[in-house]
Amino acid sequence: MNARSIKDLVRSDRVHRTVYTDPVLFELEMDRIFGRAWLVLGHESQVRSPGDFFTTRMGRESVIVIRHTDETVRVLVNRCVHRGARVCEAATGSARELVCSYHGWTYATDGSLCGVPRADGYDRPVAETVGGGLARVPRVDVYRGFLFASLSADGPSLLDFLGPLRASFDDFVERAPDGEVEVAGGVLKHAYQGNWKLVLENHNDAVHPAFVHASSIWAAREQSAPGTGAYSEIGVRQMLQNGAPWEVWENTGLWGAAYGHSWMGDYHDDSRLVPALDHPVFVEYRATLERRLGRDGAARVLAELRWNSIVYPSSSFMSQFRQLRIVHPIAVDRTVVHAYSFRLKGAPEQMFRDTIAFANVVNGTGSPVLTDDLEVYERTQRGLGEPRAEWVYLGRRHGGDVPHRDGTLRGGTGTSEIHIRNQFAAWLEYMTAEP
Binding-site ranges for Fe ion (CB under 5 A)? 373
Q: Which does 333 bind (CB under 5 to 8 A by kind): ligand FES, Fe ion, none?
A: none
Q: Choose, by CB under 6 A, the member of 30, 85, 207, 356 that binds ligand FES.
A: 85
Residues 9-38 as b/e (b if ≥16 CB within 10 A, e otherwise) read bbeeebbbbbbbbbeebbebbbbbbbbbbb
Whole-number Å distance between alpha carbons of 162 and 257: 9
Q: Which does 20 bind (CB under 5 to 8 A by kind): ligand FES, Fe ion, none?
A: none
Choose between 236 and 344: whose C-beta lies nearer to Fe ion: 236
* CB neighbour list of residue 169: distance below 8 Å, 6 or more residues apart: 143, 144, 146, 162, 319
Q: Which does 102 bind (CB under 5 to 8 A by kind): ligand FES, Fe ion, none?
A: ligand FES
* Total site size for ligand FES, rule CB under 6 A: 9
Residues 149/140, Cβ–Cβ less than 8 Å: yes
Shortest Å, Cβ 102 to ligand FES: 4
Residue 80 binding ligand FES, by CB under 6 A: yes
Q: Which does 373 bind (CB under 5 to 8 A by kind): Fe ion, ligand FES, none?
A: Fe ion
- Helix, strand, coil percentages in the chain from 3-state DSSP, rounded to 5: 35, 25, 40
Residues 224/273, Cβ–Cβ less than 8 Å: no
Shortest Å, Cβ 82 to ligand FES: 3
- Residue 254's H or E segment, with its range, is strand 254-256
416, 418, 420, 424 alpha-carbon torsion, rounded to 10°: 160
Q: Which does 80 bind (CB under 5 to 8 A by kind): ligand FES, Fe ion, none?
A: ligand FES
Q: Tell me 133's DSSP state.
A: B
Shortest Å, Cβ 392 to Fe ion: 18
Residues 346/177, Cβ–Cβ less than 8 Å: yes
Q: What is the sign of the dihedral through the CA atoms of 253, 257, 262 and 263?
A: negative
Shortest Å, Cβ 104 to ligand FES: 6
Residues 215-252 as b/e (b if ≥16 CB within 10 A, e otherwise) read ebbeebeebeebeeeeeebbbbbbbbbbbbeeebbeeb
Q: Give the x/- contact pattern for ligand FES in 92-131, rule: CB under 6 A.
A: --------x-xxxx--------------------------
Whole-number Cα distances in Å, 290 to 104, 139, 167, 338: 54, 37, 20, 33
Residue 76 binding ligand FES, by CB under 6 A: no
Q: Give the x/- contact pattern for ligand FES in 193-232, rule: CB under 6 A.
A: ----------------------------------------
Shortest Å, Cβ 58 to ligand FES: 21
Choose between 115 and 185: whose C-beta lies nearer to ligand FES: 115
Q: Which does 83 bind (CB under 5 to 8 A by kind): Fe ion, ligand FES, none?
A: ligand FES
Choose between 30 and 85: whose C-beta lies nearer to ligand FES: 85
Choose between 123 and 386: whose C-beta lies nearer to ligand FES: 123
| Residue nearest Fe ion, CB atom distance | 373
Choose between 82 and 208: whose C-beta lies nearer to ligand FES: 82
Choose between 82 and 139: whose C-beta lies nearer to ligand FES: 82
Shortest Å, Cβ 310 to ligand FES: 38
Of 325, 312, 52, 89, residue with least CA distance to 187: 325
Q: Which does 14 bind (CB under 5 to 8 A by kind): ligand FES, Fe ion, none?
A: none
**DSSP per residue over 53-79, as a string?**
EEEEEETTEEEEEEE-TTS-EEEEES-
Whole-number Å distance between alpha carbons of 69 and 400: 53
Q: Which does 30 bind (CB under 5 to 8 A by kind): ligand FES, Fe ion, none?
A: none
Residue 82 binding ligand FES, by CB under 6 A: yes
Residues 73/139, Cβ–Cβ less than 8 Å: no
Of 364, 347, 336, 328, residue with least CA distance to 174: 347
> What residues pair up with 93 in beta bridges, in sequence order?
53
Shortest Å, Cβ 369 to Fe ion: 6
Shortest Å, Cβ 208 to Fe ion: 6
Residues 263-300 as b/e (b if ≥16 CB within 10 A, e otherwise) read bbbbbbeeebbbbeeeeebbebbbebbbeebeeeebee
Shortest Å, Cβ 395 to ligand FES: 52
Choose between 101 and 157: whose C-beta lies nearer to ligand FES: 101
Choose between 117 and 186: whose C-beta lies nearer to ligand FES: 117
Shortest Å, Cβ 103 to ligand FES: 3
* Binding footprint of ligand FES on the chain (CB under 6 A): 80, 82-83, 85, 100, 102-105
